[in-house]
Amino acid sequence: MARARNRIAGIISVLGELLITAGLVLGLFVVYSLWWTNVLADRAADQDGAQVRDHWADDAPGALDTRDGIGFLHVPAMGGGEVLVKRGTDPDVLNNGVAGYYTDPIKSALPQEEKGNFTLAAHRDGHGAKFHNIHKVRTGDAIVFESKNTWYVYKVYKTLPSTTKFNVDVLQPVPKESGKSVPGRYITLTTCTPMYTSDYRYIVWGELERTERVDGDRTPPAELR
């Protein structure tokens, strides 16, 4: 009996050690997913953003460069800071700490177009987590997009805290689910929800309020000061 008890105690001890090890591995994985990927993504985004601004400083004429980035998104309610915007919403784009504009299933309009919906996605957790605080955005808040020559100032008019990830209607040129029925100049932010999952999508809709020409000092609009 004593030998059997010792054997059981030994098995329990080994199992305990294995569980502790598994817990440590899981903890390290969480740290990697939610912290280290942010570090790497922010580093990549900073480099790419600096390159875009270097291109802007060059006055030579040229076509819009959609590969390196088309501009910067500023959402004060999400905590400030700028988010580089690139073409596409695939992981190889968004994992680099940027926001991407949709090319499918519904193609995004660009801010300079006279009508349409500028639709964007970014990660909420890990890989830069640029839309982590999207839940803090409220009706009436500003969303500002900065291009080389123009500030586009949008005002939030509707949020949708949760919808299925298959709901592509939120990306329509006229986002009727937001209450709009006529063409305009809209912006839509999308990300995963709840936090730390990808089961549903959180949506924020805004409408262009005005544009401002970028001056030589790149003085931001009042909403960003």
CB hemisphere CA count around 31 (13 angstroms): 6
67 vs 162: CA distance, rounded Å: 31
- The sign of the torsion formed by the CA atoms of 148, 149, 155, 160 equals negative
The helix/strand/coil state of 133 is coil
Task: Please give the positions annotated as active site.
Answer: 192
| Closest C-alpha to 125, from 74, 41, 45, 195 | 195
Q: How many residues does the chain have?
A: 225
| Closest C-alpha to 171, from 114, 113, 103, 125 | 103
Q: How deeply is 197 buried, as exposed, middle or buried, from its count of CB atoms within 10 A (0-12, 13-18, 19+)?
A: exposed
40 vs 127: CA distance, rounded Å: 7
Q: Phi first, then psi: what are they for 93, rounded to 5°?
A: -95, -55
Q: Judge contact between 71 and 146, C-beta under 8 A.
A: yes
Instruction: Give the angle subtended at the CA of 142 by the CAs of 185 and 174, to the nearest 5°.
Output: 25
The helix/strand/coil state of 221 is coil
